[in-house]
């Protein structure tokens, strides 16, 4: 993306060659943005491949001050890994909301999405709707104080991680899968496909396609956010983004401020170009530091070089008409606290769901208050068994991870979810200890199990059981068939105290549909 | 903004490429036979055992050696030349501390790798890398030294390329290759580890099949010039032991279907179309209980033994004896012998037993 050309706009004065300065910084911005977006996607895509270094796959969450602040607020604990976001806070205090224009992967995509160039007056520099993002931020904070991080799904990094992990990469996998099948069908392309499979399958793409609950919802939410560009460029950043609001608050005291000097010829070019539309032609082209993303387009495009970004005072920026009033802020806070209280007072039958299997260590943690819903654990899970929860009675646990053994088991040789979790909601447990963590208990449905109900040997569950001395034992027993014939058959039994609930027995059970051996949550807590 | 090409040109070139690919696929579909001819090795027990050159204790069976097991009953893939020119042992068993040495000696006793691999051959080696749980000392995956030695020997015999692969039932292949240490060992030996793509399986007719008549098998294993089967001998809940014939299950797409249709019969059916040219049973360590996953060193016995034979049934039959069992205890072995896949009667074949 290059800045929009000056030519072709009626009434725009042509820059005089002599006064035009080189603007290296502003021209770097598309490259920085693209680099940041690519890094973001690569980190999500390589989440599994990075192996024991995969804690760096959550780099963007470490840099995200909203994730850090809310994670600590709701979790009531200190998260040292998230202190890297002090860098972002420092950057914002120096140069304002530069994160939004230079680093944020969602902002970059919004920049690349076509947008309405002459928005209606309702979205002008003083649009009261700019208040909405502050209201959302207060709501996120209020529910975090009340102990829920569900609203963190509005954090742009969370949104992007979910979208890349659950929508973009699975779509890419489908394309790859098509090419793969076509490639293997034709003999001369086979030598080309094999190296690609070696490189991509089992690394950035799973060996077998993974399916994610809520993928359509995530995709629609993301598409909706992009589609809001049809109202006004970067609608999301101006009006909704809670991270943008937080950075905006910090930017009010930013050192570097945008200035317009007296040589301004009142052409209005900068006001038309500003991606967040904060340059107010009615106020001598002044802007609100809380809205300005320091993209430097106005400086680069000013025909008379009247715009500059210079070190200024640390005096806070003047208040704006769209800033939330104290009353609005308090009402929002109150409403979010009461709302969370109402959620709490309604019965959460999902917690009593016997099939609610949580990743190792997740049961000991309260996921609602510690999980920021980023979905990295779902992406990294090599079996695709971790799925976003979609609660039926209570929003508190929305999109926290649950293990659905019929879709994928908890691999005995893997503790990737704990390694990648940015907030430690899934604790990083060493592999040898993780192998002993009980996440559920398997029970055999003897009315459907092949040996029990049909008198035929099967044993897949016993074969698959990864526990060294096998939590599933086969007892050779004489049973009567329905026809009255006595037969010897190996009947599987679960040795309950050995079972860790990994669910590979349920995953591999050859009985069609619902498995004949199923994992249930080990104990019923709360509720 | 400048574009590299116009929209129209782009759509046109995509359409042309698609048509071309579809045309090629169509032409291929018209031409290729569905069932490939696999086996090139003659299953021919030597009439009398000849002591090999190595310091061996060749044990000659009391009864005169039997004629070769009935050659190719209906539907079983025909065998291929070359027949061993001189009488070589039918099965070699080598014991010794060095996994590399005993592997080399075992293949050497059978006439060397040159008997199986010709210059320019594409070789696929199928070890047992069933999951990513434990290292080789737990005896749930094939000994990496045995696999790497076979890779080296194939390359020495002039193989164009040696690929090693398995489809682990738990964990990603890359991780299983690494944990089993087979990946690094094979790469150091000059071979390639391959990730088996779900898209590369082909439906194959199984004319002699009793439980299954058609099944999806990994395409490259069918196409390879030479297929070498390197199971580890270990305990298995339903089949009692997993050995060579069972190890080939790693090359089929739908394994649950085998369980549903009767495991032993399906394994035998599979072995009628998938005929490895050489089976090397890794018994350097064997897992005597809680297989096939293992995880307890108390269940591991160090046997320092390698068994090699072009006859998969004979190799399995001998391996069963290491567990104090007879071939009849491992049903697919005796069923395989009845079907003419090889011989399970160890008294009727020439066995070269070598101690290093």
The tokens describing B139, both together, are 């005896």
| pLDDT score recorded for residue A21 | 54
| Residues within 8 A of B (CB atoms), A 328-387 only | 382
| pLDDT score recorded for residue A6 | 42
| Residues within 8 A of A (CB atoms), B 110-139 only | 131-133
pLDDT (mean) for A12-31? 65
Helix axes B331-338, B263-273, angle to 10 degrees: 50
| Residues within 8 A of A (CB atoms), B 239-258 only | 256-257
Query: Quick one: closest CA in B to A475, which residue?
Result: B237
pLDDT (mean) for B6-13? 87
Candidates A473, A450, A478, A441; CA nearest to B289 is: A473
Q: Per the CB < 8 Å rule, is A201 touching B197?
A: yes
**Contacts of residue B294 in chain A, CB cutoff 8 Å?**
468
State the Cα–Cα distance between residues B260 and A451, nearest whole angstrom. Answer: 11
User: Is A513 an interface residue toward B (CB < 8 Å)?
Assistant: no
Q: Is residue A4 pLDDT above 90, yes or no? A: no
Q: How confident is the model at residue B233 (pLDDT cuts 50, 70, 90)?
A: very high
State the Cα–Cα distance between residues A239 and A277, nearest whole angstrom. Answer: 11
Is B85 within the bounds of a domain? Answer: yes
Q: What share of chain A is helix, strand, coil (3-state, %, to 5)?
A: 45, 10, 45
Q: Per the CB < 8 Å rule, is B131 touching A466?
A: yes
| pLDDT score recorded for residue A25 | 85
State the Cα–Cα distance between residues A53 and B54, nearest whole angstrom. Answer: 50
User: Is A112 an interface residue toward B (CB < 8 Å)?
Assistant: no
| pLDDT score recorded for residue A38 | 98
User: Is B216 an interface residue toward A (CB < 8 Å)?
Assistant: no
State the Cα–Cα distance between residues B339 and B206, nearest whole angstrom. Answer: 13
How many domains does one find in chain B? 1
The tokens describing B210, both together, are 């009793």
pLDDT (mean) for B25-53? 48
pLDDT (mean) for A423-439? 94
Candidates A139, A74, A76; CA nearest to A330 is: A139
Lowest-confidence region among A95-104, B40-49, B207-216, B258-267: B40-49
Q: Has domain A438-527 been given CATH number 3.30.70.20?
A: yes
Is B87 within the bounds of a domain? Answer: yes
User: Is A495 an interface residue toward B (CB < 8 Å)?
Assistant: no
- What is the β-pairing status of strands B192-193 and B161-164? parallel
Query: Quick one: closest CA in A to B242, which residue?
Result: A463
Give B310-353 pLDDT, tens digit per residue: 999 999 999 999 999 999 999 999 999 999 999 999 999 999 99
Q: What is the dihedral of CA B206, B211, B217, B221, to 10 degrees?
A: -70
Domain ranges of chain A: 26-160+219-311, 438-527
The tokens describing B79, both together, are 């065998």
Q: How confident is the model at residue B75 (pLDDT cuts 50, 70, 90)?
A: low
Candidates B164, B180, B170; CA nearest to B123 is: B164
Nearby residues of B262 by Cβ (< 8 Å), 6 or more positions away:
A456, B211
Candidates A225, A231, A247; CA nearest to A162 is: A225
- What is the β-pairing status of strands B278-287 and B226-230? parallel
Q: What is the ipTM of this complex?
A: 0.86
Is B79 within the bounds of a domain? Answer: yes
Query: Quick one: closest CA in A to B254, which residue?
Result: A510
Give chain B's radius of gyration (CA, Å). Answer: 21
**Contacts of residue A470 in chain B, CB cutoff 8 Å?**
290, 293
State the Cα–Cα distance between residues A259 and A296, nearest whole angstrom. Answer: 11
Separation in Å, CA A451 to CA A440, A446, A457, A474, A498? 23, 8, 5, 10, 22
**Contacts of residue B290 in chain A, CB cutoff 8 Å?**
468-470
Q: Per the CB < 8 Å rule, is B172 touching A202?
A: yes
- A182 sits in which H/E element: helix A169-185
Burial label, A59 (beta-carbon count in 10 A; 0-12, 13-18, 19+): middle
| pLDDT score recorded for residue B60 | 44
How distant is the Cα of B344 from the closest Cα of chain A, in angstroms?
A: 24
CA atoms B159, B145, B324, B252: torsion sign: negative
| Residues within 8 A of A (CB atoms), B 28-57 only | 28, 32
Is B43 within the bounds of a domain? Answer: yes
State the Cα–Cα distance between residues A238 and B337, nearest whole angstrom. Answer: 76
What do you get for the CA distance between the two ends of chain A, in Å?
A: 52
pLDDT (mean) for A213-235? 95
Query: Quick one: closest CA in B to A195, which residue?
Result: B194
Q: Per the CB < 8 Å rule, is A207 touching B170?
A: no
Query: Quick one: closest CA in B to A384, which residue?
Result: B171
State the Cα–Cα distance between residues A355 and A515, nearest whole angstrom. Answer: 13
CATH of the domain at B278: 3.40.50.11440
Bond from prior residue into A342 cis (ω within 30 degrees of 0): no
Is B155 within the bounds of a domain? Answer: yes
Candidates B12, B242, B282; CA nearest to B143 is: B282
**Phi then psi dihedrals of residue B59, to 5 deg:** -105, 115
**Contacts of residue A183 in chain B, CB cutoff 8 Å?**
199
Q: What is the dihedral of CA A187, A191, A196, A198, to 10 degrees?
A: 110
pLDDT (mean) for A374-384? 95
Burial label, B8 (beta-carbon count in 10 A; 0-12, 13-18, 19+): exposed
CA atoms B209, B164, B235, A447: torsion sign: negative
DSSP A331-371: HHHHHHHHHHHHHHHS--GGGG-TT-BPPTTTTTS-HHHH-
User: Is B203 an interface residue toward A (CB < 8 Å)?
Assistant: no
Give B102-158 pLDDT, tens digit per residue: 999 999 999 999 999 999 999 999 999 999 999 999 999 999 999 999 999 999 999
Q: Is residue A28 pLDDT above 70, yes or no? A: yes
User: Is A207 an interface residue toward B (CB < 8 Å)?
Assistant: yes
Beta bridge partners of B91: B351
Q: How confident is the model at residue B8 (pLDDT cuts 50, 70, 90)?
A: confident
Which of A182, A194, A202 faces B173 most closely, judged by CB atoms?
A: A202
User: Is A174 an interface residue toward B (CB < 8 Å)?
Assistant: no
Is B13 within the bounds of a domain? Answer: no
**Angle value at C-alpha A396, between A391 and A398, nearest 5 degrees:** 50
| Residues within 8 A of B (CB atoms), A 32-91 only | 48
State the Cα–Cα distance between residues A221 and A136, nearest whole angstrom. Answer: 16
Which of B175, B220, B296 faces A469 most closely, judged by CB atoms?
A: B296
| pLDDT score recorded for residue B86 | 57
Q: Per the CB < 8 Å rule, is A504 touching B200?
A: no
- Match 């804690």 to its residue by tokens: A55
Q: Per the CB < 8 Å rule, is A414 touching B171?
A: yes
Interface test with B, best of A203, A412, A419, A431 (most B CBs within 10 A): A412
Q: How confident is the model at residue A471 (pLDDT cuts 50, 70, 90)?
A: very high
Lowest-confidence region among A96-110, A241-255, A363-377, A505-519: A363-377
Q: Is residue A15 pLDDT above 70, yes or no? A: no
- % of chain A beyond a pLDDT of 90: 75
| pLDDT score recorded for residue B82 | 44
Query: Quick one: closest CA in A to B288, which residue?
Result: A469
Q: Per the CB < 8 Å rule, is B24 touching A382?
A: no
**Contacts of residue B179 in chain A, CB cutoff 8 Å?**
413
Beta bridge partners of A201: A205
Is B75 within the bounds of a domain? Answer: yes
| pLDDT score recorded for residue B2 | 60
User: Mean pLDDT highest for which of A9-13, B58-62, B201-205?
Assistant: B201-205
Instruction: Write down the mean pLDDT value for chain A.
Output: 90
Q: Per the CB < 8 Å rule, is B171 touching A474?
A: no
CB pairs under 8 A between A and B: 123
Q: Which domain holds residue B303?
A: 33-355
pLDDT (mean) for A155-180? 96
Q: Which alpha helices (DSSP H) does A8-84 contain, by range?
A: 24-45, 59-62, 65-75
User: Is A185 an interface residue toward B (CB < 8 Å)?
Assistant: yes
**Contacts of residue A460 in chain B, CB cutoff 8 Å?**
256, 259
| pLDDT score recorded for residue B37 | 42
**Which 3-state string (H, E, C) describes A214-267?**
CHHHHHHHHHHHHHHHHCCCCHHHHHHCHHHHHHHHHHCCCCEEEEECCCCCCC
């Amino acid at each position: 993306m290059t800045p929009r050309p000056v030519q072709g706009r009626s009434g725009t004065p042509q820059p005089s060659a002599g006064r035009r300065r080189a603007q290296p910084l502003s021209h770097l911005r598309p490259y920085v943005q693209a680099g940041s977006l690519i890094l973001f996607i690569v980190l999500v895509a390589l989440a599994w491949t990075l192996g024991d270094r995969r804690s760096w796959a959550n780099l963007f969450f470490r840099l995200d001050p909203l994730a850090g602040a809310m994670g600590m607020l709701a979790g009531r604990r200190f998260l040292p890994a998230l202190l890297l976001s002090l860098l972002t806070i420092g950057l914002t205090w120096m140069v304002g909301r530069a994160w939004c224009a230079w680093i944020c992967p969602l902002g970059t995509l919004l920049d690349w999405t076509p947008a309405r160039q002459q928005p209606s007056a309702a979205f002008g520099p003083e649009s009261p709707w700019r208040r909405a993002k502050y209201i959302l931020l207060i709501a996120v904070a209020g529910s975090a104080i009340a102990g829920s991080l569900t609203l963190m799904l509005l954090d742009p990094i969370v949104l992007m991680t979910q979208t890349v992990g659950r929508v973009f990469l699975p779509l890419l996998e489908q394309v790859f899968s098509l090419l793969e099948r076509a490639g293997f069908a034709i003999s001369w392309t086979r030598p080309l496909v094999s190296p690609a499979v070696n490189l991509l399958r089992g690394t950035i793409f799973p060996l077998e396609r993974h399916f994610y609950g809520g993928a359509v919802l995530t995709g629609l939410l993301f598409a909706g956010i992009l589609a809001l560009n049809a109202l006004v460029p970067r609608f999301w950043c101006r009006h909704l983004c809670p991270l943008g609001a937080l950075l905006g608050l910090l930017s009010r005291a930013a050192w570097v401020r945008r200035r317009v000097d007296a040589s301004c010829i009142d052409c209005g070019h900068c006001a038309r170009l500003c991606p967040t539309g904060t340059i107010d032609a009615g106020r001598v082209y002044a802007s609100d530091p809380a809205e300005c993303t320091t993209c430097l387009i106005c400086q680069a495009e000013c025909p008379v070089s009247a715009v500059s970004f210079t070190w200024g005072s640390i005096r806070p920026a003047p208040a704006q008409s769209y800033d939330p009033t104290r009353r609005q802020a308090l009402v929002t806070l109150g409403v979010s606290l009461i709302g969370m209280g109402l959620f709490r007072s309604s019965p959460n039958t999902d917690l009593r769901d016997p099939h609610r299997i949580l990743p190792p260590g997740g049961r000991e943690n309260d996921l609602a208050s510690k999980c920021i819903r980023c979905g990295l654990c779902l992406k990294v899970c090599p079996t695709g068994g971790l799925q976003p929860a979609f609660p039926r009675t209570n929003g508190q646990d929305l999109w926290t991870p649950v293990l659905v053994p019929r879709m994928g088991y908890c691999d005995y040789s893997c503790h990737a979810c704990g390694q990648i979790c940015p907030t430690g909601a899934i604790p990083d447990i060493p592999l040898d200890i993780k192998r002993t963590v009980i996440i559920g208990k398997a029970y055999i449905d003897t009315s459907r199990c092949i040996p029990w109900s049909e008198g035929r040997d099967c044993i897949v569950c016993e074969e698959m059981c990864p526990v060294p001395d096998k939590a599933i034992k086969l007892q050779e027993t004489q049973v009567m068939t329905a026809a009255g014939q006595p037969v010897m058959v190996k009947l599987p039994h679960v040795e309950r105290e050995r079972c860790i609930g990994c669910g590979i027995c349920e995953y591999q059970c050859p009985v069609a549909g619902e498995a004949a051996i199923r994992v249930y949550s080990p104990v019923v807590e709360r509720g | 903004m400048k574009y590299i090409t116009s929209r129209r040109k782009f759509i046109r070139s995509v359409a042309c490429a698609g048509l071309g690919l579809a045309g090629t696929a169509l032409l291929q579909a018209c031409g290729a036979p569905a069932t490939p001819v696999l086996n090139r090795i003659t299953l021919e027990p030597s009439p009398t055992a000849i002591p090999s050159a190595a310091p061996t204790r060749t044990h000659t069976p009391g009864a005169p050696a039997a004629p070769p097991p009935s050659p190719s009953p209906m539907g079983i893939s025909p065998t291929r030349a070359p027949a061993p020119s001189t009488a070589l042992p039918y099965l070699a068993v080598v014991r010794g501390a060095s996994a590399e040495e005993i592997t080399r000696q075992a293949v050497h006793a059978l006439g060397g790798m040159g008997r199986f691999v010709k210059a320019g051959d594409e070789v696929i080696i199928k070890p047992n890398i069933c999951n990513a749980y434990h290292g080789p000392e737990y005896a749930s995956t094939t000994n990496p030294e045995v696999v790497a030695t076979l890779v080296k020997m194939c390359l020495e015999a002039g193989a164009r390329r040696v690929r090693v692969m398995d489809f682990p039932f738990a964990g990603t292949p890359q991780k299983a290759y690494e944990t089993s240490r087979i990946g690094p060992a094979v790469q150091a030996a000059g071979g390639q580890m391959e990730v088996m793509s779900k898209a590369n399986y082909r439906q194959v007719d199984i004319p002699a099949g009793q439980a299954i008549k058609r099944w999806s098998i990994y395409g490259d294993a069918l196409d390879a010039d030479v297929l070498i089967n390197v199971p580890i001998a270990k305990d298995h809940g339903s089949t009692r032991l997993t050995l060579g014939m069972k190890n080939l299950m790693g090359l089929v797409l739908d394994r649950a279907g085998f369980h549903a249709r009767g495991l032993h019969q399906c394994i035998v059916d599979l072995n009628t179309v998938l005929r490895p040219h050489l089976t090397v049973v890794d018994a350097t360590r064997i897992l005597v209980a809680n297989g096939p996953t293992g995880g307890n060193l108390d269940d591991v016995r160090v046997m320092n033994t390698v068994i090699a034979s072009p006859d998969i049934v004979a190799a399995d039959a001998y391996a069963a004896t290491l567990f104090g069992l007879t071939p009849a205890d491992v049903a697919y072995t005796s069923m395989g012998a009845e079907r003419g896949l090889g011989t399970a009667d160890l008294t009727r074949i020439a066995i070269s037993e070598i101690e290093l």
